[in-house]
Structure 1
Amino acid sequence: MQPSIIDLQIMWNRLIAVVGEQAQVLIRTAFSPIVRECEDISAGVFDLQGRMLAQAVTGTPGHINSMAESVKHFLRHFPVEGMQEGDAYITNDPWMGTGHLNDFVITTPAFHKGKLVGLFCCTSHLMDIGGLGNGPEASDVFMEGLYIPMLKLIDRGVVNETLMAMIRANTRLPVDTEGDTYSLAACNDVGVRALSAMMDEFGIDTLEPLAEHIIARSREAVLAEIGKLPKGSWSYSMTTDGYDHPLTMQATLTVSDTGIHVDYTGTSGAVRRGINVPLAYTTAYTVFGLGCLVAADIPNNAGSLAPLTVSAPVGSVLNAQKPAPVSSRHVLGQMLPDMVFGCLRQAIPERVPAEGTACIWNITVRGEWAEKVGPNHGYALAITTNGGTGGRPGQDGMSATAFPSGVHGTPVEIAEIQSPLMFWRKEFRPGSGGDGESRGGLGQIMEIVNTDDAPFELLAAFDRIQYPPRGQMGGGDGAPGYVGLGDGTVLRGKGLQVIPPGERLVVLTPGGAGLGDPAARDAAKRSADAANGLLAD
């Protein structure tokens, strides 16, 4: 019997709960702090055509929306006809996964009463997979670490021990990396069991009617929202710091009756260092930006994503081709929602914020640790931080907030447990938010020192230093970022640099830009800014 509309809606909500459980298992069993504490993951359930039906609310857009396409690549390599219960497949291919080698993607077939009914997929960031490390230094992808093609990780319940041995041998953190791989596989297994229990409860033996309902309703809802927008094309450009020279990103956004298309023709070409972006990651953050303004209340799945399309010239920095280095693809990729906002500000200014820091300011560090001995070779850590977001219509920007990535900031206590580093200072950066009717959010001030009498390495991948967030509609720019030493030495925003023993690393993250004429700012808000210490001395 065909399920009723009410039944389908209940099952849809239940499916979202299933992937939520899947994500929580991944977070709670992970070894790496960037997963366990910061939730740099994605998790979702797919039908047998590789269409994403539901995603966990927890997760980053770069992972989720690129994972949404990665399952189709798995199906090309491993057709459903050959899948068995207990199988699991893995890759970290940047062009078929989520954009760089540090993300492992695992897909697991879901069986119910002996019949294949769907697929679970998940991804998380692994802190070290060998090579030059998670920084932009490499000149091709092969220098960036272990490259895993589409492989079978588990065959009918039997782990591929040869592959696991290769993974352990190619990382500075074999314990963490192996543990994170198993946590990815385990969370999919939990999803499979939860899905089977759901199907028993509702008395169904296939997901096809539910899948068609989810896809059709979501697509219709997004198209209805697009139908309320003015039709036309708008362009926007942004200059970024680049690696050793500035780069230009150019976007043209077109709203039509059939959807929204963003084209990046005019964007700079790919570069020789690892800030290039595979198209899947470009697409992921572009459609997320569109979703924020157009479809914020509509569940994210294959149906809601279908009317949102993206193109970029082959060989551009936003459509880099293998073997381009892509380890720090987030630096440019996470600025793409601001590109989308810049286009749509011309069409719906009442809904669009000013530019923010956008690219997450991960303080990626590595070194030896005299007090720690064991199978791991020293420490490698990404201390996740961010600057301010742009002022919003009717509201100020958010301070020290990781938009659009959505990851949590690494707690100081966790960073100090996982490494010999100590934070001497971590506080808001007064005056860093751009002035405006809506003020930009504040960045942060951080000072970090090694408690061991030894140097440590900074794998810098920062932006918005030369070109800070720009104010909009009369608002002021956000403060630029800064990286240096306590003695006043200025460090480069990108590239491997050694912090000498006893010297403090000083990091100032950018502030968000202001929105609207500062003269229109409410006097009570100005008084509150001063009282709360948000303004520069």
Structure 2
Amino acid sequence: MSQVDEIRMQVMWNRLISVVEEQALTLLRTAFSTSVREAGDLSAGVFDPKGQMLAQAVTGTPGHVNTMAEAVLHFIAEIPREQMFPGDTYVTNDPWKGTGHLHDITMVSPSFKGDELIGFFACTAHVVDVGGRGFGADGKSVYEEGIQIPIMKFAERGEVNRTLLAMLRANVREPNQVIGDFYSLAACNDVGHKRLIEMLDEVGFANLDELGNFIFSRTRTAVMERLADLPKGTWSNDMLTDGYDTPIRLAAEIEIADDKVNVDFAGSDGMSPWGINVPLIYTKAYACYAIKCVVAPDIPNNSASLAAFDVSSPVNILNAERPAPVSLRHVIGHMVPDLVLGALAKALPGKILAEGAGALWNIHISARPEKGKDGERAEVLMFNSGGMGARPGLDGLSATAFPSGVHTMPIEATEHTGPVVIWRKELRPDSGGDGEFRGGLGQIIEIGAAEGHEFDFSAMFDRVTQAARGRDGGQDGAPGSVTLDDGTRLRPKGWQHVPAGKRLILNLPGGGGFGAPETRDPEARETDLRKGYLTGGKK
């Protein structure tokens, strides 16, 4: 390939990434649920006819993107080629063939140029409700957690499956929001297809074959070069998470070989009776993300980069089998990067950030009028983030969703969706672990129902009994807590009640510090005091 042809292919690769970015932005702009529209809890990507991911949108979460990379293969296996037509869209929320729990809807659309199938567009988004017990850890099997949609057609030749829509309306609490999001998902795939056809017509390509070969070959070569520079050997790590009612041990062993990084989660605790189990497809997604953050953060994410990482596990909480309850798979799944990074820190001392809050502090609120009073009912979902661990050379980021990358929702957007009031949302002083580099701060969030209302809420929190650990001499971050405004302590997981007139107070955990505290720059410590990150009681 000549230098001019190589430059041309690189430009087209960048153009393809812009296509899927527009695909994702279409979903952001048309979504009904605040978790998608405001927090960006979604993914979008384009795949070749074999189901190999060519490009992903920057907008979106690793859990969605990397599970989607495997999910498309399940769609192709389920729907024969002769039953695929222009105008089709396929759907599922199968936790083991999609993204790990029922609240995530994955849609895949075949892309035809004339009569030739040239690829697929896929997208995923979290919807506000799927029926059942609601978004929480209290289910004892997946059958209690909501409606299950096997891989099937949402639309055939452009005609929407009305039977599926009727079943959704009969099974969810917010049918207009949920069905609106289904249409938004389908629309974003359509936009991706249209932009792809325009691009191919403009450059005179009949399909994606030549560009796909270029993308995969260049990615593979770049990743292999990075692996060659890593130390070879095997390292392990373990950690405790809060669990539902008892702590849960997670364990990982990482082997760095010449052309592969292998991760095995043998030694992790067995499946839980509660809805915090993780299907392997989701565990893989975050394990690969953690490795890629260290090995090849600047190399575009596609099937060739992911192929360098192998993830395995016996049946346990990180490889839960059907029909295990998995609604809150993200709470344990978001701990996987810290678990993997802890092993990599032994292979690459001094180069890996400290542990952070990990799991999002999601809260699902079911608000209603007090008994005997008129008012509004609503299902409200908030995404909140604790602090990141400190990094080698830098303080941790405060109130930042690592590893998921979703945004914190604006207070105004949350209050607009139902009768709730956010009385306080601020950084939590003294929550970041001390060190040469300070851990990121958590938040303090105070939530009440509007006048005349009360609410139940699903707690989905971790790092309450098991704080984020510091690294290389850094101190642990502050653990979180869940209370009422009168001091009553509440559980970090499960559905609970907040009476009218009471407020829920969430103290989100901070990230661990990096390096010995006595080596911190005095000017940096003074800045922390001046900005209120420290109150003076922490030295």
TM bin, normalised by shorter chain, reads over 0.9
- Deviation (angstroms), 1:451: 1.1
Q: Which residue of 2 aligns with 1:309?
A: 310
- Deviation (angstroms), 1:23: 0.3
Q: Which residue of 2 aligns with 1:74?
A: 75
Q: Which residue of 2 aligns with 1:105?
A: 106
Q: Which residue of 2 aligns with 1:413?
A: 412
Alignment of 1:441-460 (within 5 A): 441-460=440-459
Alignment of 1:229 onto 2:234: no
Q: What letter matches 1:233 in structure 2?
A: T
Q: Which residue of 2 aligns with 1:517?
A: 516
Alignment of 1:107-186 (within 5 A): 107-186=108-187
Render the CA deviation track for 1:412-468: whole Å, top value 9, x for unaligned. 111111111111111110000000001000000111111132320110111100001
Q: Which residue of 1 aligns with 2:319?
A: 319
Render the CA deviation track for 1:498-520: whole Å, top value 9, x for unaligned. 11111000000000000100011
Q: Which moved more, 1:364-373 or 1:119-128?
A: 364-373
8 Å CA contact retained: 1:277, 1:320: yes
Identity rate, percent: 52
Render the CA deviation track for 1:310-361: whole Å, top value 9, x for unaligned. 11112x0000000000000000101111111101111112321000001000
| Structure 2: distance between partners of 1:350 and 1:472 | 9
Q: What letter matches 2:469 in structure 1?
A: R
Q: What letter matches 2:203 in structure 1?
A: F
| Structure 1: distance between partners of 2:520 and 2:389 | 15
Q: Which residue of 2 aligns with 1:480?
A: 479
Render the CA deviation track for 1:78-102: whole Å, top value 9, x for unaligned. 1223211111110000000000000
| Structure 1: distance between partners of 2:41 and 2:118 | 28
8 Å CA contact retained: 1:90, 1:107: yes
Q: Which residue of 1 aligns with 2:496?
A: 497
8 Å CA contact retained: 1:432, 1:536: no
| Structure 2: distance between partners of 1:128 and 1:103 | 10
| Structure 1: distance between partners of 2:172 and 2:322 | 22
8 Å CA contact retained: 1:48, 1:80: no
8 Å CA contact retained: 1:444, 1:508: yes
Alignment of 1:180-259 (within 5 A): 180-259=181-260
- Deviation (angstroms), 1:220: 1.5
Render the CA deviation track for 1:156-205: whole Å, top value 9, x for unaligned. 01110000111111111011001000000000001111110010011011
8 Å CA contact retained: 1:387, 1:509: yes
Taking structure 2 as the reference length, what is the TM-score of the superposition?
A: 0.97
Q: Which residue of 1 aligns with 2:340?
A: 340
Q: Which residue of 1 aligns with 2:49?
A: 48
- Deviation (angstroms), 1:244: 1.2
3-state SS of 1:197 partner: helix
Q: Which residue of 1 aligns with 2:351?
A: 351
3-state SS of 2:95 partner: coil
3-state SS of 2:464 partner: coil
| Structure 1: distance between partners of 2:368 and 2:349 | 51
1:73–1:353 CA distance, 2 compared to 1 (3 A): same
| Structure 2: distance between partners of 1:499 and 1:422 | 13
8 Å CA contact retained: 1:391, 1:440: yes
1:489–1:225 CA distance, 2 compared to 1 (3 A): same
Q: Which residue of 2 aligns with 1:65?
A: 66
Render the CA deviation track for 1:92-146: whole Å, top value 9, x for unaligned. 0000000000001000010113321110000100010100001111000010001
3-state SS of 1:175 partner: helix
Render the CA deviation track for 1:447-495: whole Å, top value 9, x for unaligned. 1111132320110111100001011111111000000100110000000
| Structure 2: distance between partners of 1:122 and 1:253 | 30
| Structure 2: distance between partners of 1:382 and 1:353 | 30
Q: Which residue of 2 aligns with 1:428?
A: 427
3-state SS of 1:350 partner: coil
| Structure 2: distance between partners of 1:75 and 1:536 | 57
8 Å CA contact retained: 1:367, 1:456: yes
| Structure 1: distance between partners of 2:346 and 2:420 | 46
| Structure 2: distance between partners of 1:103 and 1:446 | 26
Q: Which residue of 2 aligns with 1:7?
A: 8
Render the CA deviation track for 1:204-258: whole Å, top value 9, x for unaligned. 1111111121112112211111111100011000001101111100000110001
- Deviation (angstroms), 1:154: 0.3
Render the CA deviation track for 1:244-281: whole Å, top value 9, x for unaligned. 11110000011000111110010000011100000000
| Structure 2: distance between partners of 1:285 and 1:382 | 23
Q: What letter matches 1:58 in structure 2?
A: T
1:510–1:166 CA distance, 2 compared to 1 (3 A): same
Q: What letter matches 1:180 in structure 2?
A: D
- Deviation (angstroms), 1:372: 6.4
Q: Which moved more, 1:426-435 or 1:213-222?
A: 213-222
8 Å CA contact retained: 1:429, 1:444: yes
8 Å CA contact retained: 2:129, 2:135: yes
| Structure 2: distance between partners of 1:349 and 1:275 | 32
- Deviation (angstroms), 1:371: 6.9
| Structure 1: distance between partners of 2:59 and 2:124 | 12
| Structure 2: distance between partners of 1:487 and 1:119 | 54
| Structure 2: distance between partners of 1:309 and 1:359 | 23
Q: Which residue of 2 aligns with 1:284?
A: 285
Q: What letter matches 2:307 in structure 1?
A: A
| Structure 1: distance between partners of 2:365 and 2:228 | 47
1:466–1:214 CA distance, 2 compared to 1 (3 A): same
Q: CA RMSD in A?
A: 1.3
8 Å CA contact retained: 1:219, 1:305: no
| Structure 1: distance between partners of 2:530 and 2:228 | 45
Render the CA deviation track for 1:366-423: whole Å, top value 9, x for unaligned. 12257766xxxx3112211111000100000000001111110011111111111111
8 Å CA contact retained: 2:367, 2:420: no
3-state SS of 1:271 partner: coil
8 Å CA contact retained: 2:375, 2:452: no
Q: Count matched residues.
A: 532
Alignment of 1:39 onto 2:9: no
Q: Which moved more, 1:113-122 or 1:32-41?
A: 113-122
| Structure 1: distance between partners of 2:509 and 2:43 | 27
Could you list the runs of 4 or more consecutive aligned residues of structure 1 that deviate by over 4 angstroms after TM superposition?
369-373
| Structure 1: distance between partners of 2:141 and 2:473 | 42
Q: What letter matches 1:343 in structure 2?
A: A
Unmatched 5+ stretches in structure 1 = none
| Structure 2: distance between partners of 1:394 and 1:382 | 35
Alignment of 1:404 onto 2:399: no
| Structure 2: distance between partners of 1:70 and 1:371 | 45
| Structure 1: distance between partners of 2:335 and 2:227 | 23
8 Å CA contact retained: 2:481, 2:507: yes
